[in-house]
Amino acid sequence: MLTTAIFPGRYVQGEGALAVLGEELARLGARGFAVLDPFAADTLKPEIEAGLAGKVVLASERFGGECSDEEIARLAETAKGSGAEVIAGIGGGKALDTAKAVAHSLGKPVAIVPTIASTDAPTSALSVIYTPDGAFKRYLILPHNPALVLVDTGVIARAPVRFLVAGMGDALSTWFEAEDCRIKRGANMTGRLGPMTAYALARLCYDTLLQFGVLAKAACAQQVVTPALEHIVEANTLLSGLGFESGGLAAAHAIHNGLTVLHETHAYWHGEKVAIGTLALLMLADRPPALIEEVFGFCESVGLPTTLAAIGLGGADDAALMRVAERACAEGETIWNEPHLVNPRRVVAALRAVDAEGARRAKALKLAA
């Protein structure tokens, strides 16, 4: 039996990490090309230039907003013309996925510098490709993980709290999906089974969220870096990335992909929709009531959505939810890694059950207050 785990080449995290950007990039090449999301382009350029310290020549281009085939082709053409030896992505998840895809198309190493901790995209050999209007299109499986992931937690702390919380929503799915893959003997992102290391890291991710999530949110609200914030940034970024990629995905991310077919969800972050997918996974997979209670409680404590209304679907009818479910159950989707009976009707039922329980708990909390 073959098991396979994959990891980024180098992971650097801490307050002020941008100060060593040039030192770290120089390991990969003397000339670089950076995909900058709007925040990085408008706010971080002085820090980026100071961190380069003359060690790397870095051209850059502003990211257009969607990780689409069209945007990847546009940026690859510009990067090729710059003579870049290394591609860097600086910004949020879609900008980072785009930079990874650009690097792949050019056969260059990629360095990833997230400015928010909203997804586990930074460490993975994966780009999620969307249509230009934001609907999920496909996964692009890459042959290599990023050569470098550099996370400045001082920058993360300055971002809106919602991003950190969304990252916790994405990370929340990690253990449940990896565990279902372990039980089903479902493939991870390499197409093989994961090793025990991956499942252990996935569990550590979940435990870290429960232990430090509330404290990290409070620190981020004050725009300060604390040990709790460092722990959650690592969970959202590294542990979640390693756990999903080498452990595997199942229903939560498939349901997220289904939710993207409804335009009403496009204003909500990936991790917010994954949180709903995780709660639906718990219902679909008949998890113990005490565990479902624990996960609902965690979501409420940090502000993750627990009802369909919280992701723009308060008025969704069964026909709309069936569209979600049919997309989630498409051939090749990760929902088939579930070790339980799966079909679109059961997915709709799970979403309705989540919505009802979330509404019931919200009402009870309001009455108790």
Per-residue pLDDT reduced to its tens digit, 67-103: 999 999 999 999 999 999 999 999 998 999 999 999 9
Rounded to the nearest 10 degrees, how much is the dihedral formed by the CA atoms of 192, 197, 203, 205?
Answer: -100
- According to the model, what pLDDT value does residue 139 have? 86
Residue 253 falls in the annotated catalytic set = yes
Structure-block tokens of residue 56: 């790397």
Q: What is the pLDDT of residue 10?
A: 97
Question: Active site residue: 170, 180, 231, 355, which one?
Answer: 170
Instruction: Mark whether 270 is an active-site residue.
Output: yes
Selecting among 37, 120, 256, 355, the annotated active-site residue is: 256
Q: Given this model, what pLDDT does residue 267 score?
A: 94
Handedness of CA 125, 103, 150, 92 (dihedral sign): negative
pLDDT of residue 359: 97
The per-residue pLDDT for 121 is 87
Q: From the candidates 97, 152, 180, 270, which is the catalytic residue?
A: 270
Quote the pLDDT of residue 368.
Answer: 82
Q: Is 266 a catalytic residue?
A: no
Q: What tokens appear for 1 in the block?
A: 């039996």
Q: What is the pLDDT of residue 129?
A: 94
Parallel/antiparallel/unpaired status of strands 57-62 and 136-141: unpaired
pLDDT of the residue at 135: 82
Q: How far is CA 343 from CA 46, 72, 195, 331, in A?
A: 52, 34, 29, 11
What is the rounded (10 degree) CA torsion for 124, 92, 178, 333?
-90
- pLDDT for position 133: 87
Q: What is the pLDDT along the chain (369 residues), one digit of tens a residue?
A: 899 999 999 999 999 999 999 999 999 999 999 999 999 999 999 999 999 999 999 999 999 999 999 999 999 999 999 999 999 999 998 999 999 999 999 999 999 999 999 989 899 999 999 999 888 888 899 999 999 999 999 999 999 999 999 999 999 999 999 999 999 999 999 999 999 999 999 999 999 999 999 999 999 999 999 999 999 999 999 999 999 999 999 999 999 999 999 999 999 999 999 999 999 999 999 999 999 999 999 999 999 999 999 999 999 999 999 999 999 999 999 999 999 999 999 999 999 999 999 999 999 988 887
Structure confidence at residue 20 (pLDDT): 98
Is 170 an active-site residue?
yes
Give the Cβ contact number of residue 277 at 10 Å: 35
Q: Under a CB-based contact definition with an 8 Å cutoff, are residues 201 and 179 in contact? A: no
